[in-house]
Structure 1
Amino acid sequence: MHSVVLTKGVPDFREGQVSFDEDGHLERGATPTVMNPNDEFALQAALQTKVKQGGRVSVMSMGPPGYESVLEEAMGVYADDLYLLSDREMAAADTWSTSITLSAGIEKIDEEPDLVFAGFKTADGETGQTGPQTSWCLDRPIVTHVISLDVDEADGKLRAKRLVEGDVDEIETVEAPLPAFVVTDPEFEPSYRRAEHRLRHKRLVAETEERVEEYEDHLTTWSAEDLELDPDFIGLDGSPTIVSGVDPIPKAPSEREATMVTPDDEEGMEEVLETMRPMAGGD
């Protein structure tokens, strides 16, 4: 059973990590890049599949050379091998040309994947389009909003429960033939009910923790030429999306007053300690 997980690098939006220019626009070069948080659910789903079915888990991303750190982070969750699709020709791609590139990368892997996993949506785009569009390029059945899944390799089927949101949230159980495409929901929870599965999960996590220290030995990088991609269909030239404008991100107003205290201000430090002491005692 071979699974491929798609991931993307996004700005680290945690407080204190994001850098903006004077107009309120995000400065990507000055903001750390991390693995898209929703992609961890896809990684957990692929890991669960490996624990129960065996096989191999590959992780793939499209981006600049700096995205190697994103793949390193992904391997920290779990991966047997890593693929980075990186080329200036791929830059400034919208979701459509990204999907074309990713589908070409998936098709180039020597072993056709039984399952391709993607996260719900990215923290910097929020469109949720890349997964379904990549599935369309691969001509595979797709199951979205997956919160649990199981694979019947003998029957060549995927059985999944998916969250259907509406006036009242419902759980829908569906089947799809393999090979298939899965988009995990943030509500996805891996399940390891059997003791042998829990032990195998523990062993695989320990193995990937060792492997991540030398992740570059497990990394393959492909250019547009390697993937035999037409420059007219990838990157900015292959993107039909037209951005009419970008609004600055509003700066949140401060809701609390702050008193600055330096370490050499003995009186001020004593006041800080007096303020914190009741909290440290649990009061």
Structure 2
Amino acid sequence: MRSVVLTKGVPDFSEGAVSFDEDGHLERGKTPTVMNPNDAFALEAALQTRVRHGGHVSVMSMGPPSYSEVLEGAMESVYADDSYLVSDRELAASDTWATAITLSAAIEEYQEQVGDVDLLFAGFKTADGETGHTGPQTSWCLDWPIVTHVLALDIDPDERVLRAKRLVEGDVDEIETVEAPLPCMVVADPEFAPTYRKAEHRLEHKRLRAETQERAADHEAQLTTWGHEDLNLDPEYIGLDGSPTIVSSVDPIPKAPSEREATMIRPDDPDGMGEVLEEMHPYAAGGD
């Protein structure tokens, strides 16, 4: 069983230092980066699959060289064997479509160099774009089936079939059970929760964790970087030139006041603490 997990670095909005150029494009080199939170569920799904069925797991991302740190964190999360970074100036300012074209080409290159992929995992959506397009568009480029909003999954290796429970969003949330032939793409829902009921699975989980801690300590040795020429991509169809999306405007996120009115109360001040309790009591009681 061979799996690849797509992950992405997103701006660390908590730092309040998100930078845009004059055309409204995010300047990733000037913005602190963290792993996309929703990718954690894709990593959990891939890890569960590996623990249950064995095999090889790789993590892959597209972005600037600094994304190697994101991949290092992803490797530690999913206990991956190696990681792949698609990084090139020609890829800058890619929208979801140009990103999907690039990632699908990277998967095809991976299959030529490493081996056939059975499962491709992705997160529900990214914290910076919120579109949820990249996973479905990548599967379309590969001409693979895709199962989205996955809550639970398992594999029948003999029949080469994925069986999954997925959330159906509508007027009423429903759960349906579906099947898909391998290879296929899995988009994990934020409600995905891995399960390790068998003792052998829990022991395997522990073994993989210890093994990966040693491997991740020398992450660069397991990192492969590809540019657009390595993937035989035409610059006209990637990056900004290959992105049909147009940014009409960017509104800055308002920052909280640097100074706020505050009253300092010492814990050993009974009168002051009494005032705090009196102030908080209506809210604790459910008042307005």
**TM-score interval (norm. to shorter):** 0.7 to 0.9
- Determine the structure 1 residue equivalent to 2:46: 46
> Given the alignment, which residue of 268, 275, 278 partners 1:274?
268
The Cα shift of 1:251 comes to 3.0
Mapped to 1, the partners of 2:165 and 2:210 lie a distance apart of 29
Distance 1:125 1:149 in 2: 27
CA distance in 2, matches of 1:235, 1:20: 20
Aligned to 1:114: 118
* 1:239 paired residue number: 243
**Identity of aligned pairs, percent?**
71
2:37 aligned partner: 37
Opposite residue 18 of structure 1, the aligned amino acid is G
Q: CA deviation at 1:31?
A: 3.6
After superposition, residues 1-283 of structure 1 pair within 5 angstroms as: 1-14=1-14, 17-19=15-17, 28-78=28-78, 79-109=80-110, 110-252=114-256, 257-258=261-262, 272=266, 274=268
Q: Is the 8 A contact 1:11 1:18 kept in 2?
A: no
Relative to structure 1, is the Cα distance of residues 145 and 255 closer, same or farther in structure 2, using a 3 angstrom cutoff?
farther
1:8–1:35 contact (8 Å) kept in structure 2: yes
Q: Deviations over 1:149-176 (max 9, x none)?
A: 0000101100000011222211110000
Residue type at the aligned position of 2:88: D
The answer on whether the counterparts of 2:5 and 2:57 sit within 8 Å (CA) in structure 1 is yes
Unaligned 5+ runs, structure 2: 274-288
Q: How many residues align?
A: 265
Distance, in Å, in 2 between the alignment partners of 1:229 and 1:21 is: 28
Judged with a 3 Å threshold, the aligned counterparts in structure 2 of structure 1 residues 65 and 254 are, in CA distance, closer, same or farther, namely closer
Partner SS for 1:116: strand
Residues 84-105 of structure 1, C-alpha deviation per residue, up to 9 Å, x if partnerless? 0000011100000000000011
SS in 2 for 1:146: strand
Q: Which amino acid aligns with 2:81?
A: D
TM-fit CA distance, 1:273: 5.2
- Contact 1:19–1:28 under 8 Å retained in 2: no
**What TM-score do you get using the length of structure 2 for normalisation?**
0.86
Contact 2:90 2:239 in 1 (8 A): yes
Over aligned residue pairs, what C-alpha RMSD do you find?
2.5
- Using the alignment, how far apart are the partners of 1:128 and 1:212 within structure 2? 29
